[in-house]
Amino acid sequence: MSDDMTGGSGSSMGMDAMGSHEVMSLGGFLLAWLAMMTAMMFPAVAPVVRLYGRAATAGRVAPLPFFVVGYIAVWTSIGLPAYFAWRELLDPIDQGRAWAGRLAGLVLIVAAAWQLSPLKSVCLRHCRSPLSFFLRFGTKVSRPWGALRMGSTHGLFCLGCCWALMAVLISVGTMNLAWMLGLATLILLEKNAPAGQRIAHIAAAVLVGIGLLLLLHPNSITVLT
């Protein structure tokens, strides 16, 4: 792995590595993917982490790292299919190939449909009400295995909220900074703003609009990325 992939901050490492046209190893990509997910997801999951941290400080649950490791394991595992998708799409997107633009358009429309789906709403309600999630696990969280399971379960709900948006990120070139910031802001508002559900629905309309643009004018992917 090159020096500029390993140096600098975690999020910078992710942006430099995944924006590069060099072929990375799977291990290098997973490290960059984890850095990217941390940079994007942390603002949205920080309230849950703080809630768990207070309980851990009071001695009511297992130490915080067990919960965090369980959460991170879910997002790291998603890096495996993301890696192969990134490998296949990087050059076609950069070259503005029509099929890559149409694929991105289709992914955006699927993401819009997911934004409006009942399953997305279930996952979003979970992420917006972490206290009820804690109560469901009860005393099981006092043991490390229970904390790991709780962290991974919360990660799965988070994945349910955001998998389609992550697919959008990959379909438009993985590490386009503008898309990263836009989707990270959307995830944060969906989970924490009082009108989070409404914001998710508004985002669906925007995603449909961009998706239709790419289906009709696939070469415009070079402008959007």
Q: Is the pTM of this model over 0.75?
A: yes
Cα of first residue to Cα of last residue in the chain, in angstroms, is 25
C-alpha distances (whole Å) from 194 to each of 49, 113, 120, 190, 203 are 19, 22, 17, 9, 15
pLDDT tens for the chain, 225 residues long, are: 444 433 444 444 444 445 444 556 788 888 888 888 888 888 888 888 888 999 999 988 999 999 999 999 998 899 889 889 988 998 898 888 999 999 999 999 999 999 999 999 998 888 887 777 777 777 788 899 999 999 999 999 999 999 999 999 899 876 677 888 898 899 989 988 888 889 999 999 999 999 999 999 999 888 887
Separation CA 183–CA 8 (nearest Å): 23
